[in-house]
Chains A and B, each alone.
Chain A
Amino acid sequence: MLVAGEGEWMNTSENIVELDDVRVYFPVRRFLSVAGYVRAVDGVSVVINRGETLALVGESGSGKTTLGKSTIGLVKPTSGKVLFDGVNIAELDEKQLKKLRRKAGVIFQDPYSSINPGFTVYRAVEEPLVINRIGDSKERRERVFRALSDVKLNPPEFFASKYPHMLSGGQRQRVAIARAIISNPEFIVADEPVTMLDASIRVEILLLLREIQQKHGLTILYITHDMATAKYFSDRLAVMYAGNIVEVGPTKLVLKDPKHPYTQALIEAVPEPDPRNRLGLRKVVPGEPPNPANPPSGCKFHPRCPQFIKGKCDLQQPNSLKLADGREVSCFLYDRGP
């Protein structure tokens, strides 16, 4: 699959990322022995199509970020297959991974700490090119300036010489985006890119991301816990709970008609911007998210589920079911099998 010498990938599959029963376990060490494992991602199969934006939503600790990292090999899966552009990255060594990562970019949550504070904007944005030995210094300069104007940091010459501490949060996130797109990637993992930003500039940044996506034909994995921005920004939505994806489908469909009880509860929990509803009590899922080191048996949502079927949900793990409208749900409620 690798063309020798050029380091380019020949194979271009339709799905840029394909996860097949991916599990990421972190060992819990207790004095020389492993006491157990934290199951951050526990059997996820999902496909990200070329050119789409997949939103990965879920509460804190549900394994969204770990899943995002595993798509580009920042985290090695314990088991399962991660196919990036048709190549199983779990089998690659560091050198090959490095080549692969050229085709991917990451935007992190915290724009205040995701850029080396000792680097100027120019150096920070240029670094991926330097590391991957792309172009000479003149060419790199052009590309850095082009990326900076792509993210609307104009004039680029002005911003290039700044240090991160001289910039606002929004400007820093633009720098981080410029750094993520500088090596012309096909796939970008945006890990809560607007969570740390002011509400007033979230939309600006998301608009910018969309514009860049259309301009460069990018695929974006948008990790968030914010249903509102997911609705606004994504084509498809994947809902994650305790290391599993419980529901995947086109964003509009999922939001309009959530199938999985957890998705329903999640959408129910979104505050409504109507003051008349302020006194109405909303349905809130009881209980707390499970401990990923010691998850409940069967369906992990069953201790909190309002539609819990005794003797089934607490014993068996539900399989992912394909629904007619292109959705997948992991819930026994829709299992009308044999």
Chain B
Amino acid sequence: MMRLKPLLRYKSSLVGVGILCFLIILSVYTVATLPFEEAARLWRAGELTWLDNPRNALPAWVNFFSPTKLPETLILNTQKPGPDVIKVSVRAGENIKISRVEMNFRYGFDDFPSEINLFFTSTYRTSPPQLTISWTKPDGTQIPLRRMTIAREDRFYISSDTVLSTELNQLMENRLGRKPAYTVPTSTILFGPFDETLLNPESVKVVKGDYRLSVEGLLFEPEADFDVKLVVYGKVYGWAGTDHLRRDIGIALLWGTPIALLFGVSAAVSIALIQMTIGAVSAWFRGGVDTVMQRITEVFLVLPFLPVLIMVSTLYKVNIWVILLIVVFLSSFGPGVKNYRALFLQLRESPYIEAARSYGAGDLRIVVIHLIPRVLPTMIPSVVLSAADFVFLEAALAILGIGDPITPTWGKVIQDAFYFGALFKGHYYWVLIPSALLAATSISFALIGFALDKIFNPRLKEV
């Protein structure tokens, strides 16, 4: 393994090693910080777990490259009081209590939030609390939103409430004296100015400043109480954005890294070793063994790889490691057997093999000690190169729907993106980031493989 040091001599392989190191560190970090069960659970949890995330948000770093700052998600919660969240309760009689919640926040982004939701939790015995909710804009304009009686777990989807939308559009129409040509979204009315610009969706700008959401609650029991959570959903989230289910794509991409590396490397290494062993045994023993193995190989060569995989994954519920096994099984009698056999047929005639036989070396010893190590140097570069192929294969299978339904992988992210029309809807990040990771992985393997080829097969250097 001393011979691996020259890897750092080639600039191209240095880049490859760098990328691979980064991916390995990322994998170690992922495995260490986010247990697989947790990741798989989060990935399959459904929308309720992810209710605080914006839907189809861009990655947060797009703000670095854009002059207009897209909004991030703001969450205010009375269970986590602070200077921005004030809750005051006053007794107004024997059984009646008045609680007032004020949530102040500064909104300084250049775009409207994607959604605004309110979530309530309340405790009471028989009479639920009655809330009056109102919105205050930076200029002091107060807009009553709703008066409602809340259940123990309740929500108010401010931005998608049709009643509220109609009310607000009416209110705006009265103020401006004109009816806009489109239904102005609630979030535009709440965060925009009340002037002519509202009439055109292109021209309307966010009013930056301090907003306030007030909730006045009428509680009819001394023990009753309620909590409010306001979520002003942004348009950016995390380092990889979110998908149509508000899931953090980053989780899948993080866990995709160790899985992709493990899948690619273990498939490449085990297939190469199996093929080499078959080739060596076939070439060494010749005769009947050779004939049987070569005929099996020829059968496997014409076996259609993809249809078999599709069939297996249709009939059985497979996880990614079963897919790996099937891939290894289908490739173990692959074209490599022929190549290795040819190499070994040449090697077996070497005088040192005959010398070994002359001093009594057995078949096993000759194959394992004398034949296989001679081929390893030529094998290593191609194994590294083929690791990239298997990373791609896993992604390709996932895109075709032959994937592990549980494990989050890069391929599955791309499949989701593909299935839910990411590119059609302009969610390019959803496809680009996993694709870039895939490309980076295969580039790193390729660069290292080419350099290894130069190291182990020095004749290539002269070309």
Which has the most chain A C-beta neighbours within 10 Å: B357, B358, B359, B361? B359
Asked if A113 meets B360 with Cβ closer than 8 Å, knowing A118-B373, A118-B374, A131-B365, the reply is: no
Instruction: Considering the complex, give the chain A residue whose CB is closest to the CB of B361.
Output: A131
Question: In the complex, how many angstroms separate the beta carbon of B190 from the nearest chain A beta carbon?
Answer: 76
State the CA gap A98–B352 with chains docked (Å): 17
Contacts of A94 in B (CB 8 A): 362
State the CA gap A94–B359 with chains docked (Å): 12
Question: In the complex, how many angstroms separate the beta carbon of A189 from the nearest chain B beta carbon?
Answer: 8
How many A residues touch B, CB cutoff 8 Å? 27
Q: Say yes or no: B360 contacts A128, CB within 8 Å.
A: yes
- Whether a CB of chain A sits under 8 angstroms from the CB of B90 is no
How many B residues touch A, CB cutoff 8 Å? 16
Instruction: Considering the complex, give the chain A residue whose CB is closest to the CB of B351.
Output: A114
B355's partner among A102, A106, A118, A132 (CB-CB below 8 A) is A106
Chain A positions 155 through 190: 1 when the CB is less than 8 Å from some CB of chain B, otherwise 0: 000000000000000000000100100010000000
Q: Say yes or no: B359 contacts A183, CB within 8 Å.
A: yes
State the CA gap A115–B359 with chains docked (Å): 13
Contacts of A99 in B (CB 8 A): 360
State the CA gap A110–B353 with chains docked (Å): 13
Contacts of A104 in B (CB 8 A): 358
Q: Say yes or no: B355 contacts A115, CB within 8 Å.
A: yes
Instruction: Considering the complex, give the chain B residue whose CB is closest to the CB of A99.
Output: B360
A179's partner among B354, B355, B357 (CB-CB below 8 A) is B355
- Whether a CB of chain A sits under 8 angstroms from the CB of B21 is no
Q: Say yes or no: B360 contacts A132, CB within 8 Å.
A: yes
Q: Say yes or no: B354 contacts A108, CB within 8 Å.
A: yes
Contacts of A179 in B (CB 8 A): 355, 359
Question: In the complex, how many angstroms separate the beta carbon of B353 from the nearest chain A beta carbon?
Answer: 8
- Whether a CB of chain A sits under 8 angstroms from the CB of B356 is yes
- Whether a CB of chain B sits under 8 angstroms from the CB of A2 is no
Residues of chain A from 115 to 129 with CB closer than 8 A to chain B in the complex: 115-118, 127-128
State the CA gap A127–B359 with chains docked (Å): 8
- Whether a CB of chain A sits under 8 angstroms from the CB of B370 is yes
Contacts of B370 in A (CB 8 A): 116
Q: Say yes or no: B361 contacts A127, CB within 8 Å.
A: yes
Q: Say yes or no: B360 contacts A74, CB within 8 Å.
A: no
Asked if A74 meets B359 with Cβ closer than 8 Å, knowing A113-B352, A116-B352, the reply is: no
- Whether a CB of chain A sits under 8 angstroms from the CB of B378 is no
- Whether a CB of chain A sits under 8 angstroms from the CB of B350 is yes
Q: Say yes or no: A110 contacts B359, CB within 8 Å.
A: no
- Whether a CB of chain B sits under 8 angstroms from the CB of A63 is no
- Whether a CB of chain B sits under 8 angstroms from the CB of A258 is no
Residues of chain B from 372 to 402 with CB closer than 8 A to chain A in the complex: 373-374
Residues of chain B from 324 to 383 with CB closer than 8 A to chain A in the complex: 350-352, 354-362, 365, 370, 373-374
B362's partner among A72, A74, A98, A108 (CB-CB below 8 A) is A98
Instruction: Considering the complex, give the chain A residue whose CB is closest to the CB of B352.
Output: A116
State the CA gap A128–B361 with chains docked (Å): 8
Q: Say yes or no: B360 contacts A114, CB within 8 Å.
A: no
- Whether a CB of chain B sits under 8 angstroms from the CB of A101 is yes
Contacts of B350 in A (CB 8 A): 113
Instruction: Considering the complex, give the chain A residue whose CB is closest to the CB of B358.
Output: A106
Q: Which residues of A contact B (CB under 8 A)?
A: 72, 74, 94, 97-99, 101-102, 104-106, 108-110, 113-118, 127-128, 131-132, 176, 179, 183
- Extra contacts, 13 of them, besides A106-B359, A108-B355, A131-B361 (Cβ < 8 A), are A74-B354, A97-B360, A98-B362, A102-B360, A105-B359, A106-B354, A116-B356, A117-B352, A118-B374, A131-B360, A131-B365, A176-B355, A179-B359
Which 9 residue pairs spanning A and B have beta carbons closest together? Answer: A128-B359, A114-B351, A106-B358, A98-B360, A116-B352, A108-B351, A113-B351, A101-B360, A131-B360
